[in-house]
Amino acid sequence: MPEPRPRVLVVLHGAEPGRALARFLDAHGFDCVPVRDTESALNALGQERADCLVCEARAAGLDGLAVLDRARERQPALCAVMLANAETRAVALEAVRRGAYDFQAEPLDREKLLATLQLGLTHQRLAERVVEMEGRLDRQFGLRALTGHSRVIQRVRDQVRHLAATRAPVLLEGEPGTGKSVVARALHHNGPRRERRFERVRCGELPVSVLEAELFGSEPAGSRGAIERADGGTLFVDEVDRSSAPVQVRLLRLLQDRAFERVGGSRVRRAELRVIAACDGDLADAVRAGRFREDLYDVLAVTRVHLPPLRERLEDLPLLVEDLVRAANREHGRRVPGVTVGVLDRLAQHHWPGNVSELKNVIDGMVATARGRKALGPESLPDALRGEHSAGERLEITVGMTRESAERQLVEATLSHTRGDKRRAAAMLGMGLKTLYRRLERWGRT
């Protein structure tokens, strides 16, 4: 399908000049709406969006600045060209200060105007693309990436919002797959360093000598390390608990003095960056076991963020699944609308040892193999998750039983099935955790 023609509002005091210019632009790929005064221009802007505006700066019954302001309210990236003579040149310059793309002197050069509008439309599309990309970045790396309404994830969001603007080191702790890299990027993306580089180094993936060179650079090879590449930005040291003793000594000096040397070099270099470290579990355990320096831990642990496992925030499952389905649709070119209640029920029964990363892999596989545009049912689940479902305890509801009694029996049976795990039971029942607690309090259970 061909792209729609750009719409240009032509506002000229004389009727014939306006119609003549409209015919010229129409012949060169524009849809033109010619009007003669301020009122007609404002009415036209109120009815339909304009991509471009060609307007006289000032004439009888025509206030070009008023038209420009209204047009930019409707379309901030509007390509506006103001036409001016010697007497109205100052008005045209003021229009440029208010956001007009250009102004041109009368008598009008149509070919020059055409070239200006075409170039302005190119810039407009680029600006819209930048806004779209910023929105996608915010969804991917901003606070919205921390999906969920549970109390534990709200606490994490509050911590990220508070810490993002600071330069203090941050220690992220949590089980594998809980989203530590997502939080690290959110801290970077929501802080003053977002325009600078974000460098991630995973200590557990590299041998000691390679890790040192990757972090600090190599003088013999003349190569910069992640610290120099991230200067002014953020360095994310993942799996810091698996770093060697020499690397820990170098990191401590970097944090305390902002100084370091490349491997094999003696020249002292400096870097102004933010350090975010992460480990799987509790870093204090590594300190007690003698695998991690206590003084480095003290510097890193000034600000700590604990990432909760998925099993402790099962009420977030529906939102997480919705976001992951949307992302998988983009990745695989699918149009899956979501999953059924049966799928959510079975997902809520799983223990999720791999946390959100494991859930992402499950949803990604389900969407990738989906056919058609219907919601994914239990048959699309991996075998391991399909096998977890069982009929469980049978409930008998008798005629005359009150709704309160039936609901209590269902809640108690579900709690028995989850071995008292209230978060999991609430997710299976499709109710909020607070609602479940209120029911149990009313029934004299805690």
pLDDT tens figures, 314-346: 999 998 999 899 889 988 888 899 999 889 988
Question: Using an 8 Å Cβ cutoff, are 45 and 57 in contact?
Answer: no
32, pLDDT greater than 80? yes
Looking at CATH, the fold of the domain delimited by 143-308 is given as: Rossmann fold (3.40.50)
Please say whether the beta carbons of 352 and 309 come within 8 A.
Answer: yes
Lowest-pLDDT range, 115-129, 190-204, 230-244, 301-315? 115-129
User: Token pair 């509801």 is at which residue?
Assistant: 397
The residue among 112 and 147 whose pLDDT is bigger is: 112
Q: 370 near 377, Cβ under 8 Å?
A: no
Q: What percentage of residues in the chain have a pLDDT greater than 70?
A: 91
pLDDT band at 387 (very low <50, low <70, confident <90, very high): low
d(CA 318, CA 427): 9
Question: Is residue 133 pLDDT above 60, yes or no?
Answer: no
Of the chain, the percentage scoring pLDDT greater than 90 comes to: 35
pLDDT of residue 422 exceeding 60: yes
One-letter amino acid of 310: L
pLDDT score of 1: 43
Q: Give pLDDT, residue 141.
A: 47
The pLDDT of residue 424 is above 80: no
Mean pLDDT of 6-17: 85
CA–CA distance, 52 with 71 (Å, rounded to integer): 9
Give the tokens for residue 295.
């003084």
pLDDT band at 415 (very low <50, low <70, confident <90, very high): confident
**In this predicted structure, what is the pLDDT of residue 410?**
83
Contact of 414 with 429, CB cutoff 8 Å: yes
The two tokens of residue 59 are: 């004439």
**Maximum Cα–Cα distance for the chain, whole Å?**
91
Tell me the C-alpha distance between 232 and 271, whole Å: 7
Q: Can 7-134 and 143-308 be said to share one CATH topology? A: yes
In 3D space, the residue among 375, 360, 376 whose CA is nearest the CA of residue 328 turns out to be 360
pLDDT of residue 74: 81
CATH number assigned to the domain with residue range 311-386, chosen from the 4 options 1.20.1530.20, 3.20.20.60, 3.40.630.30, 1.10.8.60: 1.10.8.60
Closest CA to 235 of 315, 170, 309: 170
Residue 132 — φ and ψ, nearest 5°?
Answer: -65, -45
Whether 390 has a pLDDT exceeding 70, the answer reads no
Strand-pair category, 259-260 with 198-202: unpaired
Closest CA to 241 of 186, 196, 199, 291: 291
pLDDT on residue 204: 86
pLDDT of residue 299: 95
Compute the average pLDDT of residues 61-66. 89
pLDDT of residue 144: 52
Query: In terms of DSSP bridges, do strands 79-84 and 52-56 run parallel, antiparallel, or are they unpaired?
Result: parallel
Signed CA dihedral, 422, 423, 427, 430: sign only:
positive
Out of 237-246, 289-298, 419-428, pick the least confident.
419-428
In the prediction, which pLDDT does 389 show?
A: 46
The 3 state secondary structure assigned to 81-116 is EEEECCCCHHHHHHHHHCCCCEEEECCCCHHHHHHH
**What is the average pLDDT across 100-123?**
88
pLDDT band at 137; cut points 50, 70, 90: very low
Range of lowest pLDDT (54-58, 260-264, 269-273, 393-397): 393-397
Per-residue pLDDT, averaged over 48-58, amounts to 88
Structure tokens at 100: 């007009």
pTM above 0.75, yes or no: no
Whether residue 446 has pLDDT greater than 80: no
Q: What is the pLDDT of residues 166-218, one digit of tens each?
A: 889 999 999 998 989 989 999 998 888 988 999 999 998 888 889 999 999 99
Q: Is 306 in contact with 312 (CB distance < 8 Å)?
A: no
Contact predicate 289/401, CB 8 Å: no
* CB distance 103 to 64 below 8 Å: no
| Dihedral Cα 34, 36, 40, 42, nearest 10 deg | 80
Residue 307 has pLDDT above 60, yes or no: yes
* CA-based end-to-end distance of the chain: 62
pLDDT of 142: 44
Pick the closest to residue 273 from 334, 308, 230 (CA basis): 230
Mean pLDDT, rounded, for 86-97:
88
What CA–CA distance (Å, rounded) separates 165 from 274?
Answer: 11
Question: Is the per-residue pLDDT at 131 higher than 70?
Answer: no
User: What's the confidence (pLDDT) of residue 106?
Assistant: 84
Length of the chain: 446
Tell me which of 1.10.10, 3.40.50, 1.25.40, 1.10.260 is the CATH number of domain 403-442: 1.10.10
Domain borders along the chain are: 7-134, 143-308, 311-386, 403-442
pLDDT of 235 strictly over 50: yes
Residue with tokens 């999953």: 339
d(CA 171, CA 180): 10
Q: Chain-wide mean pLDDT for the chain? A: 86
What is the mean predicted confidence (pLDDT) over 397-402?
72
What confidence score (pLDDT) does residue 132 get? 54
DSSP string computed for 247-310: HHHHHHHHHHHSEE--BT----EE---EEEEEEES-HHHHHHTTSS-HHHHHHHTTSEEEEPPG
What's the one-letter identity of residue 309?
P
In this predicted structure, the answer to whether residue 35 has a pLDDT above a threshold of 80 is yes
8-22, 148-162, 286-300: which has the minimum mean pLDDT? 8-22
8 A C-beta contact, residue 184 and residue 200: yes
How wide is the angle at C-alpha 343 spanned by C-alphas 339 and 345, nearest 5°?
A: 130
- The structure tokens listed for 138 are 């915010």
User: What DSSP character marks residue 244?
Assistant: -
Compute the distance between CA of residue 386 and CA of residue 133 in angstroms, rounded to an integer: 38
CATH superfamily placement of domain 7-134: Response regulator (3.40.50.2300)
Report whether 356 contacts 310 (CB < 8 A): yes
Provide the 3-class DSSP secondary structure of residue 443: coil
Does residue 224 contact residue 260 with C-beta atoms inside 8 Å? Answer: no
Paired sense of beta strands 259-260 and 79-84, if any:
unpaired
